[in-house]
Amino acid sequence: MKTKRRSWWKWPKRRRRRQVSQPSRRARPLHAAMPLNMRLSLKNAGAWWVTSRTRLASLSSAILLAVVCFQFGISDNYYVYRASVAIQGNQLNSQEAIYEASGLEGLNVFFVDTAAVRQSIAKLHGIRDVQVHIGLSNHVTIQVAEWQPTVVWQAGDSRHWVDNMGTILPATEATFTGTVTVVDMDNRGLKPGDQVNPQAVQAVQSLQRLLPGVNTFNYTQKDGKGLSFQSSQGWQVFIGSAEYLPEKILVLQTLSRTLERDGAKVALVDVRYPSHPYYREK
């Protein structure tokens, strides 16, 4: 059996050299070559310059804003006067009354409270809705919607417009079509804002449809007589309240045909109780 001979000599292994990184030979920035205190001074100067520019821009903006506000505050172009206010939609209330109620005289347009203006104008009689719009410069537009008169209520020598809820509206020279007159026989003194019987007003509106040829009715609260009118035959016809109006008119028409056929000389017809009509001859 053969055995390997061991060599008593071994060549030493070659060691690899470690590569040590050498410093870069590129040129360093200029500020890197400066002393530390000088570099800090330059850094602080740059920060001061940036901060100063920001402060200068803020100061300029503040000055410009102050100049603009001062201009808005002293210029008459931004104060509200009668000539700069347009009032639309009014028929019952005059434009002067609406403008006075608005409280806009002499106000700066930037301090106009439109909600307060609407509330002030809405307190006028006959106003149903108010809209206030602020325009360019000092221009203000007031748009009003008023309750439409349905009846002329005459008390003595005075005549008043009345809406369908019985409210006396302001006097006006405007004309409204389709209105009917109610003569108040109680001769009460009335003024805008007062209330008359709304049922009587609504009854007159219904009678205007049932009796298209009748344009004037009398009204009194005494003895429960209520509404009455003078017929084309010259009769005094008592209608009473607003209850059972179609039945009352039907009885009146039937009774009128009978009386005219018989040639009766009638002075008064009472259909306040349609089941028991009554008439009186002259």
Tens of pLDDT along 105-147? 988 888 889 999 999 999 998 899 999 999 888 899 999 999 8
219 assigned to some structural domain = yes
pTM over 0.75: no
In this prediction, residue 121 carries a pLDDT of 94
Low-confidence ranges of the chain (pLDDT < 50): 1
275 assigned to some structural domain = yes
Length of the chain: 282
Task: Give the domain range for residue 133.
Answer: 77-146
Which pairing describes strands 236-240 and 216-220: parallel, antiparallel, or unpaired? unpaired
Number of domains in the chain: 2
User: Which three-class secondary structure state does DSSP give residue 254?
Assistant: helix
Angstrom CA distances, 39 to 44, 51, 109, 260, 264, stand at: 9, 19, 57, 124, 128
116 assigned to some structural domain = yes
In this prediction, residue 26 carries a pLDDT of 55
Give the CATH number of the domain where residue 223 resides: 3.40.50
Burial class (CB in 10 A: 0-12, 13-18, 19+), 201: buried
Pair 139, 182 in one domain = no
The torsion angles phi and psi of 37, rounded to 5 degrees, stand at -65, -35
Give the position of tokens 């109680």: 186
